[in-house]
């Protein structure tokens, strides 16, 4: 970027930040956090969660797994490298709102196409900055994930709290229908054919499979087993996505019918769906796992991997009897189940994201294992 262009952009951002109006985050429990609205979107409601990622804010903002949520970034400075279309996790923003301690005044990166404020304005995503995100995160950790609303005034607190509760209730149903693809699409021309059941997949998952010499046929979440088998796949991949797995009976039934007819591998929400299909149960975590720094132990080789995660539910270990499920990975933060496999059938899954971007994840070998097994 030329020095004059950089100076103009920095000056424009500084002027915008100087004109910020006061804003508030109202939680359903009545707690209020004060900040400043960073863009022109003055109200948004959603489930308030936090992410411990230090980087990858662009991936988080465009990740379908965050659909309908207000995300609190625990890292204090966000936006320093701007946005570029090549790094989108999907086709656009998926959040309802973003809560920050500070947004950078001077974004700069050789791939930057647009700054954070401009992107979020265009996407109509509410952004509250200059918030005590440390205190807010501590409340979510101690009291659990809850609904919230970003507003530019506190004129009617009873109404705002009711809206916060409503936003939380709306996210307890089927969210996958809002983010799954509508049409069947084919990617790549590899030697191995993989049908991807799209519960809200990221572009990186498809790219990772294509790089591994796969032809990927991505199908909508409501696709039935017989339609998937029509393509004669070498394997079926169940993607990540948002929301409660128990609200997705159609996906659970599809996976149950596919077992024994094709190798299955799931990640994130797909991991939970496969567990339900095998007869296990899931439960809601108090505040979920979100971020790019979650340690997971592989029980097969005793190695620990740092993983990228985004989920609010986990598999109930007490429900595994007589399911044929074997646990092979655990979280070192809370000992929850992070990886499973069936003792007899070619079915396995992991709770984290193993896309294996260069320099991004050290767990890409799980995709290698899946593809090599086909």
pLDDT in tens, 275-309: 999 999 999 999 999 998 899 999 999 999 999 89
Burial of 335 (0-12, 13-18, 19+ CB in 10 A): exposed
pLDDT of res. 11: 43
Average pLDDT over residues 74-84: 89
Beta strands in the chain (DSSP E): 21-27, 32-37, 44-51, 69-73, 77-78, 97-99, 102-103, 126-129, 146-151, 185-187, 192-198, 214-220, 235-238, 264-267, 281-298, 304-316, 325-331, 337-342, 347-350
CB 22 within 8 A of CB 36: yes
* pLDDT > 80? residue 142: yes
- Highest average pLDDT, of 32-46, 322-336, 347-361, comes from 322-336
Task: Using a pLDDT cut of 70, give the percent of the chain over it.
Answer: 93
Among the residue ranges 18-22, 57-61, 67-71, 243-247, the one predicted with the least confidence is: 18-22
Residue of 360, 362, 361, 268 lying closest to 315 (CA atoms): 268
Q: Which domains are seen in the chain, by residue range? A: 3-170 (3.50.30.20), 176-372 (3.40.50.880)
Judge whether residue 226 has pLDDT over 90: yes
Is a pLDDT exceeding 60 seen at residue 4? Answer: no
Mean pLDDT over 58-81 rounds to: 92
pLDDT value, residue 322: 94
pLDDT, averaged across the chain:
90
pLDDT value at 6 more than 80 = no
Whole-angstrom distance, CA of residue 265 vs CA of residue 274:
8
Tell me if the pTM is above 0.85.
yes
Q: What are 171-185's pLDDT values in tens digits? A: 778 999 999 999 999
Mean pLDDT check: name the lowest of 66-70, 119-123, 203-207, 309-313: 119-123
Least confident of 101-115, 173-187, 327-341: 101-115
> Confidence band (pLDDT; 50, 70, 90) for 63?
very high
pLDDT for position 14: 46
Is the pLDDT at 13 greater than 60? The verdict is no
Structure tokens given for 230: 């029509």
Question: Which residues, including other chains, have CB under 8 Å from residue 240's CB and lie 6 or more apart?
Answer: 64, 65, 199, 200, 201, 202, 205, 267, 268, 269, 270, 310, 353
What is the band of 147 on the pLDDT scale with cuts at 50, 70, 90?
very high
What number is the average pLDDT over the span 192-213? 95
15-29, 98-112, 145-159, 330-344: the lowest-pLDDT one: 15-29
Q: How confident is the model at residue 1 (pLDDT cuts 50, 70, 90)?
A: very low
**Per-residue pLDDT, 38:** 85
- Compute the average pLDDT of residues 211-231: 97
pLDDT at 172: 78
Which of 136-145, 162-171, 346-355, 365-374 is predicted least confidently?
Answer: 162-171
Give pLDDT, residue 10: 46
Which pLDDT value is given to residue 15?
A: 42
Of the two residues 14 and 286, the one the predictor is more confident about is 286
- Give residue 356's pLDDT: 56
Asked if residue 87 lies in contact with residue 152, where contact means CB atoms within 8 angstroms, the answer is no
């Amino acid at each position: 970027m030329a020095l004059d262009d950089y100076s103009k952009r920095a000056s424009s951002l500084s002027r915008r930040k100087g004109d910020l109006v006061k804003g508030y985050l109202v939680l359903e429990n009545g707690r209020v956090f004060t900040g400043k609205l960073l863009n022109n979107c003055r109200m948004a409601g959603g489930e308030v969660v936090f992410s411990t990622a230090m980087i990858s804010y662009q991936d988080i903002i465009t990740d379908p797994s965050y659909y309908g949520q207000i995300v609190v970034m625990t890292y204090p400075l966000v936006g320093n490298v701007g946005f570029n279309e090549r790094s989108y996790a999907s086709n656009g923003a998926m959040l309802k709102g973003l809560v920050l301690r500070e947004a950078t005044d001077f974004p700069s990166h050789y791939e930057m196409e647009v700054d954070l404020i401009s992107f979020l304005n265009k996407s109509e995503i509410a952004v509250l900055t200059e918030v005590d995100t440390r205190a807010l995160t501590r409340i979510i950790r101690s009291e659990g994930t809850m609904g919230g609303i970003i507003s530019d005034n506190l004129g009617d607190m009873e109404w705002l709290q009711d809206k916060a509760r409503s936003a939380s209730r709306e996210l307890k149903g089927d969210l996958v229908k809002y983010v799954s693809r509508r049409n069947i699409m084919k990617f790549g021309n590899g030697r191995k054919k993989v049908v991807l059941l799209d519960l809200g997949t990221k572009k990186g998952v498809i790219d990772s499979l294509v790089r591994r010499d796969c032809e990927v046929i991505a199908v909508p979440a409501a696709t039935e087993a017989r339609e998937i088998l029509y393509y004669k796949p070498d394997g079926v991949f169940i993607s990540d996505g948002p929301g409660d797995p128990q609200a997705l009976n159609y996906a659970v039934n599809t996976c149950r019918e596919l077992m024994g007819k094709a190798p299955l591998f799931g990640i994130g929400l797909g991991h939970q769906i496969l567990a339900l299909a095998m007869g296990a149960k899931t439960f809601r975590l108090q505040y979920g796992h979100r971020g790019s720094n979650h340690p997971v132990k592989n029980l097969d080789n005793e190695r620990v991997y740092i993983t990228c995660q985004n989920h609010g539910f986990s598999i109930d270990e007490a429900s595994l009897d007589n399911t044929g499920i074997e646990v092979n990975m655990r979280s070192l933060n809370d000992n929850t189940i992070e990886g499973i496999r069936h003792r007899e059938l070619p079915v396995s899954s992991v709770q984290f994201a193993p896309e294996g971007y260069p320099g991004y994840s050290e767990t890409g070998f799980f995709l290698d294992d899946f593809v090599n097994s086909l």
